[in-house]
Structure 1
């Protein structure tokens, strides 16, 4: 699940949203019958017309200056695997309604992320969503750069996604809300005016929400926090994560999402610094199965000697208990 927040597909969010609305209507232009159009939606209606979107956003700008952002664009992009899973559950048409339901819940998370008493859910925001069926190659895509595709060509595979225009001001047109404020509460006076916002937490909430809402069994390497650790983590953190991945691939029956969530969340905080401590969260006994995984990591995260020592202690304790019986 890929969720991001940008200023606008058209590159400007300091004026009218008209150009962006027109851009997001591109797929409807190829459909002659109105009943085939993908309508705009929000938490109140699924039949919103383009001019309503433009008027709604453009009129909700009280006390914003010429140089202020007036709106933001949120992209909700399920992966190919996630889309195929949804289609298998709800069918080609049913998946569209489910993605719209999911988008509403994502906007609930967006609202909560500001941590403002009066901004509790999507009903406190002014926003409009648009389901799109296709994606197109852009100049940044490697296929365009190497000449195998042209800019504007449709991308292959399932490409259903949702684009959301959300006003900078709340539904009352009184409170400024900016996801560009990344103080995360560190600057109290600034947060009081704009509301704090944690982009990473927002993106992560979308992934967790998808899994919970649809019962999607997400693999370790498909998780956003896995990608973050492998990109930005320390050598020790990456080593622990690799061991965890090896164990889960070799013993998928041991997978427990709650335990994995706890481990992968705490790895960056150093709470699972020792590999043997991390593994004991998943298995109570049976240390011999880890030998093949732990051997290459000696001295990196707790040390092979430390692991062997703990293993021997457990074996001695087990034998002692058997003698007592």
Structure 2
């Protein structure tokens, strides 16, 4: 499970409307019959129109400054292993969204009128998507890039020759293009993988638009607060503040595992990703200390990054090799997680 929280940000100032983002999230519905479309929903509502979602966020901005975001975007990306655990992806992911939005509300160390924040205080609109396209950060795109660059140059030469602005043999250039396409390391259904191509396999994920203001439009609730859960004295009163992302991310995993009976391997956990970032040697030691079957599964999952087998074959007493492998692991897993190409 990989979750990101991103503030609304367009250019130097924050756009006053969520309309562009809502339109972007409608891209999968283009050309589909209404019965096949994924519509917006929230904690208590189904089949919410784009107009209602836009109006709900755009009118819930009382007293926000021009430099403050109107909304936050949460993207929840289950791994393919997690998706295989679901019976009905649309139905189950909606159920899961409503459950983790309760976790989201609990992660605020705030009170409204003397009570803890609940999901009913959160104004949000969510949408399920089932497709992903290759991005420039994906491993396949990065490794195909040198081939793609040469192909683009050759195709440009072909156009120049056809227009009479360059002399050359078009047939030879086209043969070079075919050879480069065949030599590219990453292909899909016989075609070289390029940016914008749809990814294979299960790619369902969740987009959640969350208003910066609470449902009453009176209180500001920012998951981007620089303060974690803490208390401070202001004007002689103790005031709670902050949002605990760690708690939210951990609880979101626990909620999924409990809801769908998922057996999470160590390398799939948020805690493992944190350990990898801050204490990579400890991360490696934790993997090596797993029970045999869990360790085998861990290396199988890491194998999707191209790093599982080399790591597994390194003796634990070969310190320099281990340290080198850990650096490679950290770099490879980090890029794979960010690109969404693996679900750990």
Normalised by the length of structure 2, the TM-score is: 0.65
92, 99, 120: which one aligns with 1:105: 99
Q: What's the secondary structure of 1:207's corresponding residue?
A: helix
120, 123, 127: which one aligns with 1:123: 120
CA distance in 1, matches of 2:232, 2:294: 45
Answering whether residue 265 of structure 2 is matched by residue 219 of structure 1, we say yes
Distance 1:34 1:111, change over 3 A: same
Distance 1:251 1:80, change over 3 A: closer
CA distance in 2, matches of 1:250, 1:196: 37
Equivalent residue pairs, number: 248
CA distance in 1, matches of 2:48, 2:202: 25
Answering whether residue 174 of structure 2 is matched by residue 177 of structure 1, we say no
Which of structures 1 and 2 has the larger relative contact order (alpha carbons within 8 angstroms, sep 6+)? 2
Normalised by the length of structure 1, the TM-score is: 0.69
RMSD: 2.8
How far did 1:121 drift? 2.6
Assess if the C-alpha contact under 8 Å between 1:107 and 1:121 holds in 2. Answer: no
Q: What's the secondary structure of 1:75's corresponding residue?
A: strand
How far did 1:171 drift? 0.2
Answering whether residue 145 of structure 2 is matched by residue 135 of structure 1, we say no
Match of 1:96 in 2: 90
The 5-angstrom pairing of residues 179-258 of structure 1 reads: 179-186=223-230, 188=232, 195-233=241-279, 235=281, 237-238=282-283, 240-247=285-292, 249=294
How far did 1:247 drift? 4.8
Structure 2: segments with no counterpart, 5+ residues: 149-191, 298-314, 320-344
Assess if the C-alpha contact under 8 Å between 2:109 and 2:240 holds in 1. Answer: no
Answering whether residue 80 of structure 2 is matched by residue 80 of structure 1, we say yes
Answering whether residue 156 of structure 2 is matched by residue 162 of structure 1, we say no
Assess if the C-alpha contact under 8 Å between 2:70 and 2:211 holds in 1. Answer: yes
Distance 1:242 1:60, change over 3 A: same
Q: What's the secondary structure of 2:290's corresponding residue?
A: helix
CA distance in 2, matches of 1:247, 1:117: 46
Assess if the C-alpha contact under 8 Å between 1:73 and 1:164 holds in 2. Answer: yes
CA distance in 1, matches of 2:247, 2:30: 36
Assess if the C-alpha contact under 8 Å between 2:42 and 2:125 holds in 1. Answer: yes
